A and B are shown apart, each in its own frame.
Chain A
């Protein structure tokens, strides 16, 4: 019982400690910019569409739909790194956006650097497949939803008397709480700790140290997705999926966040 109380304390405490979305409402002119971007895209004026969509981003507003359409515009303008970045951003905010996933795969065909990585074990693929299907916010909602369900069953048991069906449902609900809590925890942790970015320069040398006089380790090209291991002034240490590490100037990378 004491253990259960500690779980509630830390579990709810963890959820309440997560940064919360602000209550601001979009500006009135935002829809105008966005709509003009869509109109320009439809009429094939991709430069105008790009300007309109970027205007929305400059006003600090974002949405999966905006990133998706911006990705399409970048693709049409042959900006491979921009398209990869925008589709990745779309999927970051809505991992279930199928069109963005398709367009990202299609764009990646044009990325020069192709790194062959060994196939992940099936259980890991399954786990990551489930985890990455939802955003951290959605996982928080699932956990809280199951928690509410569990508490309702507890209350029914307490005031309505024992019932086998309710007891089984209660146990099932607590199992779901634990499972979704694990996914929530991992999802929030990886989102806050792991930063990724897209190489934004056609071709860039990756250096052994964060200064221009150090040794060139290897070369990467636009559109490649990398993890950012650490930051030093205006230099970033990047890590490729095959484990290669090196430093590049931060102006050559677009961060996914």
Chain B
């Protein structure tokens, strides 16, 4: 009876505005697990509009993820349809206890409604809760009360007893630390481990070196990860095996109590922590006055390479000192950060004589012996000789020029010399050749046009010159019967006339041919002979002509055409 009453009460809380529901997937979770807040509308015209209020007890990990679906059914011959809009947020609890999602204002199809607040019970993360979990992520720190500037190592590890199909983590913002990544695998490398009496597969997600930049309480926020795991409930529709399900999980937050560095005895302040060594080098000890030289200070050891520095240093008078160049060569292991920091000074001695540069010093807090330590380099002896060319008019070297100080010139060029006569022209022969090619190409289209128009205008003359050659060729090739011989002679004469006159007439009568020859100034006797030959051509159809006569006519017609060609005007 009580349960029934509770169910009715719960329903009344969730369904508040017609077809809109506001719900979460679970009301009882462990710290580090997420809840999904869902707003669903059924049969509405539009998707519900919601502005999420400030949820102080939860962190919004993702959302809103919007989806919609439609459903059609035919029942007793009547078709029914329904549509659903869904908005989802993934929320991660910030703390344990009875947490509250405040009431939400939802606007649906122009109507504004208010939901009831939702309460979720979040159990504190404990060994027991992790024992039961199929998968979880854990954050570990090697020292919860370090000194300011001392390295602490933060390790995030995944433990799982199920198949992991995907993993994506979101690192927290580590405020109050200088962070250096020690280990970050591109692919999770799982190995078997025993944890809380159970066998798990575990993988290091990330390992970071943190250097607290302030003292006091600093909280490391949880890492939030989305993990895909194989769903054990086999989907009968899936042909690819069990589908994967996404879960959002997080680590616990870690609180650090950072101790301030103890006061020094000598009054020098320093924020350097770790174990360090110092050494100085100079590129040469004998220099000329006004010649630039390089002094390098090497700081090697373990600790925050960025913050490590020498104690304030005063160069002796008479030295022009340029801004130092700092190079860091980091040497990372999976546990410690360290390496070498080189501070490189370019200095120009303006005075002469023997100069002793006092040692460079480093003061650091040794986190092993928990004591302040001071180390120094050896002093540098320098002999500066007088430079007769010395001048004091230099304005100073530029940054780029300072980099060149102490370097040597590059070696000789032994390539085959590209000889050129001194004071010769600015342009070489190859350029002239290119210019000539360009000129020719420039003139080419014009020349082609000119040639084409010339050919077009002289086509008559060329054909005229070809007339005799073509006709004689036809006549010479005659080997047929006498009837055909005279036909070919006739054709040759027609071709001759056409070539000479530029006409394209297919047939001429004997009278026409004679007239054309007469008009062209061909000798009268030749015309007479031609007339006779053509008459033989007509006669041969009725009375046979001997081969000898035919041969004579062939030779004669060639002579006539040659005479005609000479006389043609």
- Stretch in A56-64, A209-217, A229-237 touching the partner: A56-64
Chain A residue with minimal CB distance to B440? A151
Is the beta-carbon distance between B418 and A63 smaller than 8 angstroms? yes
Nearest first, the 7 A-B pairs at minimum CB distance are: A19-B425, A63-B417, A151-B441, A144-B434, A114-B395, A60-B422, A21-B428
Q: How far is it, in angstroms, between the C-alpha of A93 and the C-alpha of B413 when the chains are bound?
A: 15
Query: B200-226: which have CB < 8 Å to A?
Result: none
Is the beta-carbon distance between A151 and B438 smaller than 8 angstroms? yes
Q: How far is it, in angstroms, between the C-alpha of A62 and the C-alpha of B420 when the chains are bound?
A: 5
Say yes or no for A164: interface residue by CB 8 A criterion.
no
- Stretch in B98-106, B143-151, B397-405 touching the partner: B397-405
- Also in contact, A140 and B445, with CB within 8 A (given A72-B412, A221-B391): no
Q: How far is it, in angstroms, between the C-alpha of A147 and the C-alpha of B435 when the chains are bound?
A: 9
CB distance from B440 to the nearest CB of A (A): 9
Is the beta-carbon distance between B409 and A106 smaller than 8 angstroms? yes
Say yes or no for A247: interface residue by CB 8 A criterion.
no
Q: How far is it, in angstroms, between the C-alpha of A151 and the C-alpha of B389 when the chains are bound?
A: 60
Partner of A202, one of B389, B405, B415, B425: B389
Is the beta-carbon distance between B432 and A20 smaller than 8 angstroms? yes
- Stretch in A97-105, A124-132, A167-175 touching the partner: A97-105
Chain B residue with minimal CB distance to A257? B423
Q: Chain A contacts of B420 at CB under 8 A?
A: 21, 61-63, 93
CB distance from B543 to the nearest CB of A (A): 60
Is the beta-carbon distance between B427 and A155 smaller than 8 angstroms? no
Q: How many residues of A contact B (CB 8 A)?
A: 67
Which residues does B use to contact A, with CB under 8 Å? 292, 389, 391, 393-397, 400-401, 404-405, 407-432, 434-435, 437-439, 441-442, 444-445, 448
Q: How far is it, in angstroms, between the C-alpha of A124 and the C-alpha of B350 when the chains are bound?
A: 38
Say yes or no for A12: interface residue by CB 8 A criterion.
yes
Is the beta-carbon distance between B419 and A103 smaller than 8 angstroms? no
Is the beta-carbon distance between A113 and B393 smaller than 8 angstroms? yes
Is the beta-carbon distance between B413 and A114 smaller than 8 angstroms? no
Query: A34-93: which have CB < 8 Å to B?
Result: 34, 38, 41-42, 57, 60-66, 68-69, 72, 75, 93
Q: Chain A contacts of B435 at CB under 8 A?
A: 12, 15-16, 144
Chain B residue with minimal CB distance to A35? B414
Q: How far is it, in angstroms, between the C-alpha of A133 and the C-alpha of B384 when the chains are bound?
A: 41
Is the beta-carbon distance between B427 and A105 smaller than 8 angstroms? no
Q: Chain A contacts of B423 at CB under 8 A?
A: 60, 257
Partner of B425, one of A20, A102, A155: A20
Chain A residue with minimal CB distance to B449? A158
Q: How far is it, in angstroms, between the C-alpha of A203 and the C-alpha of B396 when the chains are bound?
A: 18
Partner of B444, one of A61, A137, A155, A191: A155
Chain A residue with minimal CB distance to B432? A20
Q: Chain B contacts of A145 at CB under 8 A?
A: 434
CB distance from A143 to the nearest CB of B (A): 9
Is the beta-carbon distance between A148 and B417 smaller than 8 angstroms? no
Is the beta-carbon distance between A221 and B426 smaller than 8 angstroms? no
Say yes or no for A8: interface residue by CB 8 A criterion.
yes
Q: How far is it, in angstroms, between the C-alpha of A20 and the C-alpha of B428 when the chains are bound?
A: 6
Chain A residue with minimal CB distance to B391? A112
Would you give 9 A-B contacts (Cβ < 8 Å), ordered by A? A12-B439, A15-B427, A15-B431, A21-B420, A61-B421, A103-B409, A109-B397, A116-B395, A152-B441
Is the beta-carbon distance between B434 and A148 smaller than 8 angstroms? yes
Is the beta-carbon distance between B419 and A30 smaller than 8 angstroms? yes
CB distance from A59 to the nearest CB of B (A): 9
Q: How far is it, in angstroms, between the C-alpha of A42 and the C-alpha of B411 when the chains are bound?
A: 9
Is the beta-carbon distance between B441 and A137 smaller than 8 angstroms? no
Say yes or no for A166: interface residue by CB 8 A criterion.
no
Q: Chain A contacts of B430 at CB under 8 A?
A: 141
Which residues does A use to contact B, with CB under 8 Å? 8, 12, 15-16, 18-24, 26, 30, 34, 38, 41-42, 57, 60-66, 68-69, 72, 75, 93-94, 97, 99, 102-103, 105-109, 112-116, 136-137, 140-141, 144-145, 147-148, 151-152, 154-155, 158-159, 188, 191-192, 202-203, 219, 221, 257
Q: How far is it, in angstroms, between the C-alpha of A84 and the C-alpha of B412 when the chains are bound?
A: 15
Is the beta-carbon distance between B427 and A18 smaller than 8 angstroms? yes
Q: How far is it, in angstroms, between the C-alpha of A198 and the C-alpha of B294 when the chains are bound?
A: 29
Is the beta-carbon distance between B426 and A114 smaller than 8 angstroms? no
Partner of B401, one of A94, A105, A151: A105
CB distance from B287 to the nearest CB of A (A): 13
Q: How far is it, in angstroms, between the C-alpha of A188 and the C-alpha of B435 when the chains are bound?
A: 16
Q: Chain A contacts of B419 at CB under 8 A?
A: 26, 30, 61-63
CB distance from B433 to the nearest CB of A (A): 9
CB distance from B395 to the nearest CB of A (A): 4
Partner of B413, one of A18, A62, A65, A147: A65
CB distance from B325 to the nearest CB of A (A): 15
Q: Chain A contacts of B429 at CB under 8 A?
A: 20-21, 23
Q: Chain A contacts of B395 at CB under 8 A?
A: 114-116
Q: How far is it, in angstroms, between the C-alpha of A103 and the C-alpha of B394 when the chains are bound?
A: 20
- Also in contact, A102 and B410, with CB within 8 A (given A65-B418, A148-B441, A154-B445): yes
Is the beta-carbon distance between A41 and B412 smaller than 8 angstroms? yes
Q: How far is it, in angstroms, between the C-alpha of A42 and the C-alpha of B437 when the chains are bound?
A: 45
CB distance from B474 to the nearest CB of A (A): 36
Is the beta-carbon distance between B397 and A114 smaller than 8 angstroms? yes
CB distance from A27 to the nearest CB of B (A): 10
Q: How far is it, in angstroms, between the C-alpha of A42 and the C-alpha of B418 when the chains are bound?
A: 21
Q: How far is it, in angstroms, between the C-alpha of A42 and the C-alpha of B397 when the chains are bound?
A: 31
Is the beta-carbon distance between A141 and B432 smaller than 8 angstroms? no
Chain A residue with minimal CB distance to B426? A136
Q: Which of A42, A140, A145 has the most CB of B within 10 A?
A: A140
Chain A residue with minimal CB distance to B419? A26
Q: Chain B contacts of A191 at CB under 8 A?
A: 426
Partner of A18, one of B391, B425, B444: B425
CB distance from A216 to the nearest CB of B (A): 14
Q: How far is it, in angstroms, between the C-alpha of A78 and the C-alpha of B418 when the chains are bound?
A: 27
CB distance from B406 to the nearest CB of A (A): 10
Q: How far is it, in angstroms, between the C-alpha of A38 and the C-alpha of B439 when the chains are bound?
A: 43
